[in-house]
Chains A and B, each alone.
Chain A
Amino acid sequence: MILLLGCTTLHTVDGAKTLDVKQVQIGAAGSIQGRQNAASVATGIPVAQGELALRVGVAENVDVGTRLYIGGLYADMRYRFAQPGRWHLAVAPGVGGLMLPIPAFPAGTLDVRSPLRATRDLSEHWDLNLGVTPMARRQLGAFDTYLGANVGLEAHWPRFYIGAGGDWLVQPAYGYKPAWVVGMSLGFRSR
C-alpha cells in the first residue's frame, strides 16, 4: 500500500521567513507527487502524500522543524542569512527519509537536503516563496542526486497560514525526467 502513497516527500512547505524565538508552528500538508517513487515512475501514476509539521524558533533568524509523513520523518534547521528589502533568504539543511522498510527498499532511504529559499513580501498577508534544493538520496546502496526548484504562494495572518505550490526535481537515476509535486499546506502559529 505504501507504494501507492509517497514513501518520502518532495514537497516544499516552508519559505525563508524564520519564526520568532520560542514561537511554535504546527501545520499539515497534502500533495500529489509524480515520478516520486519506483511505483510512480513505472506506472506514470502520481502518488499521494500527507504530512504533519512542527517548527520552533530557537534563536533570532534560526528555527528548527520536523515533518512526519507517510513512511518517514524529516528534520531540518532553517537559517535566514540575509534580509535585503522585501526579500528574505535562508538555507535549511536537513536529513530525513523512508523509515518504514518496504520490500522495494528494505533498508529504507536517507536524504540529505540543503535548500536555498527566498521569500518575497508581496503584501501584509501574502508571500511569494521560491527555492532551489540540491538533494542526495541514499537508496539501494547508491547515492542518487536530485536538483529541485519550487514556487509557491502563502497567505498568512498572525495565527494562521495557508499555502500552495509546486516542486520540480530532476532525477538523473530516472533519465532526467523530473519528479513533480503539487500541494497545499496550512497551519497555526503561536504569538
Chain B
Amino acid sequence: MHLIFATALAAEPELNRADLGVNAGLAATRSSTGNHRVDPALGLWARKGFGAAFGELELGFVTNADPVPGGTLRRNVYRSALLVGWRGGLRPMHVGFAAGLAASVVTGNDVMALQPGVRFRSDLHVPVGDRSMLVFHTGLTSRGRGADADVGLGWGLRW
C-alpha cells in the first residue's frame, strides 16, 4: 500500500510540509443508555507529512445531551488521538487513511472518566488554491466498550 501512495505522490515534495486545520460536523457518541445520538462536533488537527506518509495529532470535542426518564444526561467528550497514515491520489485531490491511539476524557453529571481506545479515520482533501484545502472526513473511535462515529467538513492550511 505504501508503494501505491509513494508512486502516486512522487512528484509532490510539498507534502513533506505541515498542515493545520479545523473541522465541524456531527458525532454519534455512545451513551450509557446505549444510544448513538447526533450532536455537533468540533475538531482541530496538525499533521506533518513525510512524503506519502504522515503523522498527526487530532483533538475533538462533542457535547452530548441524552434525555432519560427524569432529566437529561449531559456529557462532554474531549478526544485526543495520535495517528499515522498514508495519502495519495491520481489528481491533486487526495485520499487519506489514518489509524492510531485515542484517549477520550468524558465529563458530566459530576463524573469524569478517561477512556483509552483506537481511532480510524478516512478523509478526502480537495485543494483550494496553493496553500489551503477542504477536508471531508469520517472517523470511528473506540471508547470503553462502545464506539463513537463522526463525520465532518473542515478547512486546512499548509505551510
* Chain A residues with CB below 8 A from B28, complex form: 136, 142-145
Residue in A84, A143, A172 whose CB lies within 8 Å of B37: A143
> Would you give the shortest CB distance from A90 to chain B, in whole angstroms?
9
Interface of A is mostly: strand
Q: Most B CB atoms within 10 A — which of A60, A136, A144, A147?
A: A136
CA distance A134 to B138 in the complex (A): 8
> Would you give the shortest CB distance from A22 to chain B, in whole angstroms?
17
* Chain B residues with CB below 8 A from A144, complex form: 28, 36
**Is the pair B89, A81 in contact by a Cβ cutoff of 8 Å?**
yes
* Chain B residues with CB below 8 A from A79, complex form: 89, 91, 93, 95, 124
**Is the pair B140, A134 in contact by a Cβ cutoff of 8 Å?**
yes
Interface size on B, residues (CB 8 A): 27
Within 8 A of B (CB), among A80-119: 80-84, 89, 91, 93, 112, 114, 116
* Chain A residues with CB below 8 A from B38, complex form: 138, 141-143
* Chain B residues with CB below 8 A from A60, complex form: 90-91
Is the C-beta of B35 less than 8 angstroms from some C-beta in chain A? yes
CA distance A62 to B90 in the complex (A): 10
Residue in A81, A143, A145, A172 whose CB lies within 8 Å of B95: A81
19 new A-B contacts at CB < 8 Å, known A134-B140, A134-B149 = A60-B90, A61-B90, A79-B124, A80-B90, A81-B88, A81-B91, A81-B95, A82-B5, A82-B8, A91-B122, A112-B151, A136-B28, A136-B138, A136-B149, A138-B26, A143-B26, A145-B149, A147-B140, A173-B36
